[in-house]
Amino acid sequence: MHRFSFYLYFSFALLFLAHSKLNGQSINSSDQDFVVVLDAGHGGKDSGNLGYKGSGFKEKNIALNIVLQVGKILEKTPGIKVVYTRDKDVFIELYKRADIANKVDADLFISIHCDSFSNPEAYGAGTFVLGLHENERNFRIAQKENAVIYLEEDYEKNYPGFDPNSPESVISLLMMQETYLDQSIEAANTIQQSFIKNLNRKDRTVKQAGFAVLRNTYMPSVLVETGFLTNVTEGKFLNSSKGQSQMSNAIAKAILNYRNILDSSVQHETVFQDDTPLDTGNEITSPAVVFKVQLAAGKNDLPLKSYNFKGLNELSKQYDGSLYRYFFGNATSFSSAKKLLNKAKKAGYSNAFLVGFVEGKKVSLEAALEAIR
């Protein structure tokens, strides 16, 4: 099949799946469950990175241990369903990992890895969402993780036209991800902040890169680099039971935080920061803080008319140079914002979510909630 024809077909196929999800047509999961797919990077014949010389570390084992502990924590929470791409030491092709998430109609996909670098001084945990490589470093990380493609049988058939070594090739990875980009960034930021606040880890910030494991998912998706195995101190920490337990708790806490601030159906909203729950069901307001409901995002500039947005009014939009983001409402308290979110979902925007603005600048929802504490 001609490369362009394949991508056109692939785009429409994913568009159909994404459209079904956005309009509340669940493929395979319970409407009452928040489905999290946990992906332990590498596995089987793919060991991942082996850390500093003589360490004996294997990324595949550390990633799996962390994933299983995260899952164990989440499974104790009512309303959370956990699905694993692998729960033992087996090799799973990258495209099959996305297939698993799509078939269960996941609400969130988290892929866990450990980083490596030629400079043994590099350290810190980082989070990534799918996007164009913004610098050589991000592309190098994606290139390293994507190289596992070559271990797969018939990789040319599974990834037609995709070259892990080509910066230009990662452009195709952005297909159908625009809808979920903001939510992916929100989830990634929540994880990143959990590392900082709960573990005092170095903030490597949320970045965008062309990870193939994220390319075919049609839900918010995040790849987590838990730290550098090539750094002696950090490598030993990540390979220890204490380190894996601490990382698992921080990731699980962040996922619960993300679910709670995203899902207005949660009756007792709790935002987890450190070990202190923050009650967000009050009427605290701040003139500098505004909450809005993001309805959609895309490259098309739509007139702010109610007939374009399923009868909703009080509309606004923002352009960041690549995407238009469309918002509904203008609330000064979180409880009022949740009512707006319910209204948007009843209108048909089942995948709508809340965003915050502080002094007119769009910030993470967690930052907006922090500003009204």
Residue whose C-alpha is closest to residue 294's, from 344, 232, 239: 344
> To 10 degrees, what angle do helices 232-239 and 241-262 make?
80
**Residue-level pLDDT at 157:** 57
pLDDT of residue 153: 60
pTM exceeds 0.85, yes or no: no
Task: Give the model's pLDDT for residue 166.
Answer: 55
pLDDT for position 192: 93
The pLDDT tens digits for 59-108 are: 999 999 999 999 999 999 999 999 999 999 999 988 889 889 989 989 99
Fold of 3-262: Aminopeptidase (3.40.630)
Task: Give SS3 for 94.
Answer: helix
Q: What are the structural domain ranges in the chain?
A: 3-262, 280-371
Q: Residue 298, SS3?
A: strand
Which portions of the chain are predicted below pLDDT 50?
1-30, 132-139, 168-176, 264-282
> Cα separation of 94 and 138, whole Å?
19
Residue 311 has a pLDDT of 83
Class of domain 280-371: alpha beta
Contacts of 115 (CB under 8 A, 6+ apart): 49, 122, 126, 141, 225, 226, 227, 228, 229, 230
Q: Evaluate whether 271 touches 260 at the Cβ level (below 8 Å).
A: yes
CB 185 within 8 A of CB 129: yes
10 Å Cβ neighbour count for 167? Answer: 14
* Residue whose C-alpha is closest to residue 42's, from 90, 84, 87: 90
Report angle CA 147, 113, 236 to the nearest 5 degrees.
120
Give the whole-angstrom CA distance, residue 303 versus residue 7.
Answer: 29
- Which tens digit of pLDDT belongs to each residue from 182-192? 788 889 999 99
Closest CA to 349 of 179, 217, 102: 179
The confidence score (pLDDT) of residue 90 equals 96
